[in-house]
Amino acid sequence: MNGFNYQKPKVIAEIGCNHKGNFDIALELIDLAKECGADVAKFQKRNPSELLTPEQYNAPHPNPINSYGDTYGEHREYLEFTKEQHAQLKKYCEKKGIEYSTSVWDITSAKEIVSLNPKIIKVPSASNNNFEMLKVLRDEYRGEVHVSFGMTEKQEEENLIAFFEENGSAKSRLVIYACTSGYPVPYEDLCILEINRLYEEYEDRVKEIGFSGHHLGTAVDIACYTLGARWIERHFTKDRTWKGTDHSASLEPRDLSTLVTDLNNTYKALRYKCEDILDIEKVQREKLKHQF
């Protein structure tokens, strides 16, 4: 990527539902995300009765050991915060100096979060073909819309971008993410060269391109940044052994802190030499380099 204009990386701590439905834990995770150096603390908002069919709502959780209710719908309801609680989360983030954001999964949730007017609203891979919801975000909201492209066909990508281009907002506020949907994702399925493809196909049509990962470790995220991902999003928890399906594919505070540090150090290193012999090299040249 000769000549690529690298910018300081932006890191999203995807708290999601890792708060286990406990508001105090949600506040603690905001504190921890800020301490780790993340730029954004992100949650999720769903309306289970709207999002799920009656059969899905009343079915048992596919992995009962991780369930917080007798049915999948009750499990999802247990993990939800109200619009008023999200307003409190946003206010708390502002107090702590970290950006608040939320993924919205349905029309009701989109309208509720739009009313809070955060700077960023995320569309998860599972809902990026919900054009009624996307219309709310396109037409009733003026902040950035971030969209993950996990489990998404190329024509579906094109349809979404073209939809935001209809009112001229794609280039100014649409951010798209290379993503593989899985928890956790093995390395061979991360397919991070998709970042290159998104640049080749959409760089001139969207605001920015990012990477949303559900893998183990943090080394791959550095590679994604060097490939051009402006945003790095990782699931975040206090304890990977906690009850819930996302914890196992999440970073704990030590790992998130390492990721932020490594990304920032990589940003510092991604440059050409400003002169043939740097100041740090001059003493070494005098000491070590023989003249022939």
- Give pLDDT tens digits for 37-86: 999 999 999 999 999 999 999 999 988 899 999 999 999 999 999 999 99
How far CA 234 is from CA of 15, 109, 206, 208, 251, in Å, comes to: 9, 22, 22, 17, 7
Q: Give a yes or no: residue 33 inside a domain.
A: yes
Q: Which pTM value belongs to this model? A: 0.95
Amino acid at 1: M
Question: What residue spans of 79-146 are helical by DSSP H?
Answer: 83-96, 107-114, 131-139
CATH number at residue 123: 3.20.20.70
- Residue 162's contacts (CB-CB under 8 Å, 6 or more residues apart) are none
Residue range of the domain that includes 66: 10-288
The reported pLDDT for the residue numbered 245 is 85
Q: Give a yes or no: residue 4 inside a domain.
A: no
The reported pLDDT for the residue numbered 292 is 82
Closest by CA to 251, choosing from 276, 212, 223, 218, is 218
Q: Give a yes or no: residue 81 inside a domain.
A: yes
Percent of the chain with pLDDT over 70: 99
Q: Which residues pair with 144 in a beta bridge?
A: 120
Q: Give a yes or no: residue 95 inside a domain.
A: yes
Question: Which residue spans within 105-226 are E strands per DSSP?
Answer: 120-123, 144-148, 174-179, 208-213
Q: Give a yes or no: residue 176 inside a domain.
A: yes
Residue-wise pLDDT tens digits, 91-108: 999 999 999 999 999 999
Confidence of residue 260 (pLDDT cuts 50, 70, 90): very high
Q: Give a yes or no: residue 134 inside a domain.
A: yes
Q: Is the pLDDT of residue 4 over 80?
A: no
Q: Give a yes or no: residue 50 inside a domain.
A: yes
The reported pLDDT for the residue numbered 2 is 43
Structural domain count, the chain: 1
Amino acid at 46: R
Task: Report cis status (omega within 30 of 0) of the bond before 184.
Answer: yes
Q: Which residues pair with 146 in a beta bridge?
A: 122, 175
The reported pLDDT for the residue numbered 227 is 97
The reported pLDDT for the residue numbered 5 is 84
Q: Give a yes or no: residue 1 inside a domain.
A: no
The reported pLDDT for the residue numbered 290 is 83
Amino acid at 116: L
CB atoms near residue 63 (< 10 Å): 9
Closest by CA to 120, choosing from 101, 137, 139, 93, is 101
Decide if 128 contacts 156 (C-beta within 8 A).
Answer: yes
